[in-house]
Chain A
Amino acid sequence: MPFEEKLTWVNAVVTVVVPIAYFAIMLGRLGDVSAADISYQWPLLIAIGASVVLTIVGSILAGIGTGISAELRGRSASGDIDRKDERDRSIARHGDLIGFYVSSVGMVGVLALTMLEYEYFWIASALYLSFVVGSFVASAVKIASYHRGF
């Protein structure tokens, strides 16, 4: 598996796990407080921060794993990790473009919520959801491109 694909897997897992945890906690709280009163700011900032940290940690672990694997096979570890070729870049561009389209559709929904004057919680949640779904779709497209051909 190319190192870039490993990083894509890390991103895919993080963009699923963290938002699920965030929405599970926040939607659970909605049973006790109304959307107008719910305190979503810190949980959302923590979720975004956790995504960044987990992605960095996952990337470091992927790098260490790739390095160990390369050394065991008697090949230069740095060669495997640093190497990013034209196929990786093409796949990344393709995946990011599809992810951008998905996020853009989500933004229309956010715009609609804003115009309809929904609570800030719903607008912020829809915005976050648009970003994470777009990011996940981008990762899924990249992984499919690595396996099915590009």
Chain B
Amino acid sequence: MGKPTRVINRIRALRFAAGEMTQADLADRVGVTRQTIIAIEQGRYSPSLEMAFQIARVFGVPLDDVFQYPDSEGMTP
């Protein structure tokens, strides 16, 4: 199964840092399905800019603390 997006994220780490927030809790707070959160965490779906900001706001961090876009395959910015 190939990754359809190059956007990487730290949602899983941020959830655990936020008192082990569940995927369902995050989904409720952003207003999406739990499966969408799972897909984003696994890099199977790139959220819209608006949803990305909503996720960052839930954790109270800037957008690029949650999502990164590497320069090329396998390289972090």
Contacts and interface: CB of A to CB of B under 8 A. Distances in A.
Q: Is the interface of A mostly helix, strand, loop or mixed?
A: helix
Given A149-B39, A149-B45, A87 B32 contact: yes
Interface stretch (A7-15, A33-41, A56-64, A78-86): A78-86
Contact of A148 (B1, B5, B47, B51): B1
Interface hub of B35, B36, B48 (most chain A Cβ within 10 A): B35
A88 B33 CA distance: 9
A29 interface: no
Main secondary structure of the interface of B (DSSP, over half): loop
A150 interface: yes
Interface residues of A, number: 18
Contacts of B42: 149
Interface of A: 1-5, 75, 79-80, 83-88, 146, 148-150
